[in-house]
A and B are shown apart, each in its own frame.
Chain A
Amino acid sequence: MSESPKSLRELLELLQQEKQLLSFNREHALEPDLSAAAQAGQNIGETSPALMFNNLQGYPGKRIVLNTVSSWPNYALSMGLPKESSQQQIYQEVLRRWSDSPWELQEKTEQPPFMDNIIEGDDINLFELIPLFRGNERDGAPYITKGAFISRDISEPNNDDKENVSIYRVQAKGKNLLSAQFVPGHDCARHLSIAEERGENLKVAIAIGVPPALSVAACSPLPYEESEFKLAAALQDSPFEVYKSEHTGLNLPWSAEYIIEGEIIAGEREHEGPFGEFTGFYCGNRKMPLFKVTRVMHRDQPVFENLHLARPMSESDYIMAFNNGVAMHQELKTNFPGIKAVNALNCYGLVTIISIDQNMGGIAKSAALRAMTTAPGLISAKTVIMVDDDVDPFDMYQVMWAMSCNMNPQFDVSLINGLPSVGLDPASVPTGITAKMVIDACRPTAPDLRGNSKPKEDIVHPTGTGEWEQKLTAMIKAL
């Protein structure tokens, strides 16, 4: 295991070394080339490289990188893990760092590189400063889709733990005007509500091109009073470097490529969208908060890192892949220590697959019900599939084996009506309400002794299989 990259530039260098980055030095148009290339990369599949565009039509000196963490090797490398790591191996390491590594901020006073270029007031023109482009073809405007959106609870301005970093969709609306979508219940919606209650605007910042651990932390379901900067520190296994902005009072990631600062206007909403979401559908038809930009800063030769959203698997599925699962696991482990892994990577965990060492019949089903009431599970976990701990919940062939051979719908499927779901779930009726289902694909365990899929009677791998696996892997690598 090597160190996790501490900046976007370090990550790009590592991806280049590991042959997980393609660079384009010939000129490319922004539309439709960039999104088409990103989608093509995602179609190619789960080992696809990052795409770096160094020559953009009409934007000399600017660069765009897409699909940075849009595959398992790139995710593994962004965490300092070997690029061959399996999903289960990455999951276990994320789980370990989340609970065991220090959650620590490092406040730097040295001037950050993004302060080499500062643009304020009337000189701000976002469309000129950033090579903004349309993502999906029916999106209403260019969007910033991988910005770390930073805000604070103004009733406790000095409490770093109540500072929030999230990824939100951000529409470009004018030279110095943006808008953002804060799903009710998400931390920034709460920060805005506190500010609006006082009739004050809310100071916010967007950091683009941040260390990969921060992008992952930013879309983790942390409780309100926990800091994503600190989680990023745990995930990258080293203190997270920030710089305190005198302009907004917010912590800014020290190595960011771009910083956009300004304020959300209290008491105002304006039509927004539509925007192609992670569900694979356009979502819009709402009025959302406006963000007036007051300062933009960027590094020399800045890299605009953006993300292409589409039906899974797209980059948003990769960067969120383990977050909801690990967060559920943390909540479940006290009551169900037999849980080995929680795969909640399918659309936010709308389908969740949990592996468990079930010490008594009925335990797996109980754990599934409990998963539906964890903080992340409450609005996801629509279908929870339970498998034994010798089944890798990230390996769909194994999960389908368990469903095929261990599950009898007469006994092993349970439906519960009228539970909450994420508003973006297109199948929820009315929006935000759904039935949920438990599928128990564990082998029946005493005292439940139905059927013939008995734990002690299945085929075990021949003696020495594990050693052979290591030997073959090494030989294949050396070919």
Chain B
Amino acid sequence: MTQCVRCGKQNAEVMTEASDKSWILYSCPDCRYAWRTTEVVENRTREQFPKAFQWTDETMKSFTDFPRITTRKNKQ
């Protein structure tokens, strides 16, 4: 497992690799950030990822549903 560039958790997974092995594409199952290893440095290194765009569990919890969930009506 690999550290996520955005949320810092250790669960990022390889999604795919270049046919010529020139890059790996990762995605984080926690925050869903995805990146390719050949991108600009801010997008692929935890230390350089812009602070304003980092996410913590609190950040994600504060988000609201869009659109809101319609509650299930019981069948009569």
Contacts and interface: CB of A to CB of B under 8 A. Distances in A.
Contact of A127 (B6, B25, B29, B31): B25
A437 interface: no
Given A58-B20, A286-B64, A134 B43 contact: yes
Contacts of A174: 15, 27, 29, 32
Interface residues of B, number: 39
B63 A287 contact: yes
B1 interface: no
Contacts of B35: 134
Contact of A287 (B53, B55, B64): B64
Contacts of B67: 182-184, 189, 192-193, 289
A285 interface: yes
Contacts of A125: 15-16
B72 A31 contact: no
Contacts of A271: 31-32, 55, 60, 63
A141 interface: yes
Interface stretch (A43-51, A196-204, A206-214, A223-231): A196-204
A175 B15 contact: yes
A173 B13 CA distance: 11
A57 B22 contact: yes
A134 B18 CA distance: 16
Interface in A248-277: 266-272, 274
Contacts of A57: 18, 20, 22-23, 38
B69 A267 contact: yes
A362 interface: no
A316 to B, nearest CB: 20
A453 B59 CA distance: 57
Contact of B73 (A32, A197, A269, A272): A197
Nearest to A183: B67
Interface string A1-38: 00000000000000000000000000001111000000
A274 B20 CA distance: 30
B32 to A, nearest CB: 5
B76 interface: no
Nearest to A58: B18
B27 to A, nearest CB: 6
A138 interface: yes
Interface in B1-50: 6, 15-20, 22-23, 25, 27, 29, 31-36, 38-40, 42-43, 50
A42 to B, nearest CB: 20
B39 A32 contact: yes
Interface in A412-469: none
A196 B66 contact: no
Most interface-central of B17, B18, B63 (chain A CB within 10 A): B63
Contact of A193 (B34, B62, B70): B70
Given A125-B16, A274-B53, A31 B34 contact: no
A167 B63 CA distance: 23
A269 B35 CA distance: 22
Contacts of B69: 196, 267-269
A171 B43 CA distance: 17
Contact of A58 (B15, B22, B33): B22
Contacts of B20: 57-58
Contact of B65 (A128, A140, A287): A287
Interface string A265-307: 0111111101000000000011111000000000000000000
**The 4 A-B residue pairs with the shortest CB-CB distance in the complex, in nearest-first order:** A58-B18, A286-B66, A196-B70, A141-B34
